[in-house]
Structure 1
Amino acid sequence: MIEWFTWTQVAVASLAGALCVILGLVGRKPNDLTIGSLALVELLLIAQVVVGVVAPFVGNRPSGSLLEFWVYLVSAALLPIAAAGWALVERSRWSTVILGVAALAVAVMVARMWQIWTVQGA
């Protein structure tokens, strides 16, 4: 993993999550801004998949379990898709909150992926 990219992902996902939760709690239904913020989170996760595939081949090997890292990454990549699907089917203020919770969960999962990659002993 690339450290600056990881913390950028955490920051973007946290901001998107806070935005969606706040907008949902004030009564806004899912819109282009909320779905778009989650789409940006998903785009960064897809880039992380590419980094996760390439990194071991260029000498950046994980110190923790590679299987655990990939389970986190695949799960994190599915969360925004599932939340956006839910938001598009049930267009209510709570769907916007769900978008925010999904983005915040992705932020936590990316931070955990960083721990798996760098901190844990193999």
Structure 2
Amino acid sequence: MILGFTVAQLVLACLVGLVCVIAGLAGRKPNDLTVLSVALVELLLLAQLVVAIVAPAVGNAPTGNPLEFWMYLVSALLIPPLAIVWALVERTRWSNVVLGAAAFAVAVMLWRMEQIWTVQLA
């Protein structure tokens, strides 16, 4: 993994989480801003998937358990689309809070993936 890219993803995911939670607590229903911002988090996760596939081939292999890393990545890839479907099916203010929670969950998972990739010893 690339530390700078991971940090950028973390910042974006936390910002998206804040925007979505604030919108939900303000009583707003899901709109383009909240749904598309979570879609952007998903897009960056897809880019992270490409990085995770290419990195070991160029000599940047994970130091931790690769299976654990991939389980985190696959799980993180599933969270935003499921949250978006929820938000589009149940269009209430709480759907924005769910979108925010999904973004925060992705941020936590990204940090754990970074730890697995760089800090742990196999």
* TM-score interval, smaller chain: over 0.9
Structure 2 SS opposite 1:71: helix
Pairwise CA distance, 1:76: 0.4
Give me the whole-angstrom Cα distance separating, in 1, the residues matched to 2:73 and 2:8. 16
Give the alignment's TM-score, normalised by structure 2: 0.99
Pairwise CA distance, 1:119: 0.4
Unaligned runs of 5+ in 2: none
Answer yes or no: is 1:56 the counterpart of 2:59: no
Give me the whole-angstrom Cα distance separating, in 2, the residues matched to 1:95 and 1:104. 14
Answer yes or no: is 1:37 the counterpart of 2:37: yes
Corresponding residue pairs, total: 122
1:59-83 per-position Cα deviation (integer Å, ceiling 9, x unaligned): 0010001100000001001000000
Runs (4+) off by over 6 Å = none
Give the alignment's TM-score, normalised by structure 1: 0.99
Answer yes or no: is 1:117 the counterpart of 2:121: no
Answer yes or no: is 1:65 the counterpart of 2:77: no
Amino-acid identity (%) = 66
Pairwise CA distance, 1:101: 0.2
Give me the whole-angstrom Cα distance separating, in 2, the residues matched to 1:116 and 1:61. 11
Give me the whole-angstrom Cα distance separating, in 2, the residues matched to 1:112 and 1:7. 12
